[in-house]
Amino acid sequence: MKGIHLIADLYHCQCKTEILTDLDVLEPEIVAAVQQANMQVVGVRFHQFEPVGVTGVVLLAESHVAVHTWPEQGEGGYVTLDVYVCNHTGENRAKAEQLFEYLIALFTPTDVEKTVVNRGIRSE
């Protein structure tokens, strides 16, 4: 199944602290962004860590979005972000890229490392 897996490491996030630390703030932001991208949510699971940090996944008919926050890591904290979308029902690459960039902007990092993996494509 052809698809795209967008991966980012976000450093020194300048967003509101609650986005990094509070499940009740982060989860609805991620779910709303996915819905805004016209992707079909089939499940949502987030976990609040103590004393801080949130991890979560939004399962999509198209695949998934995953986010993990480490607010205690350096100034502004650290976030990992994955957006993986396959093209089973249609071409979803543009939607995935738009969602990915929106989510990166949500955290407002000063330093970003991005990786793009094209899935299901063999070089023969």
Instruction: Point out the residues that are catalytic.
Output: 63, 68, 86
Q: Percent helix, strand, coil in the chain (nearest 5)?
A: 25, 45, 30
The string of DSSP codes covering 23-70 is HHHHHHHHHHHHHHTT--EEEEEEEE-SSS-EEEEEEESSEEEEEEEE
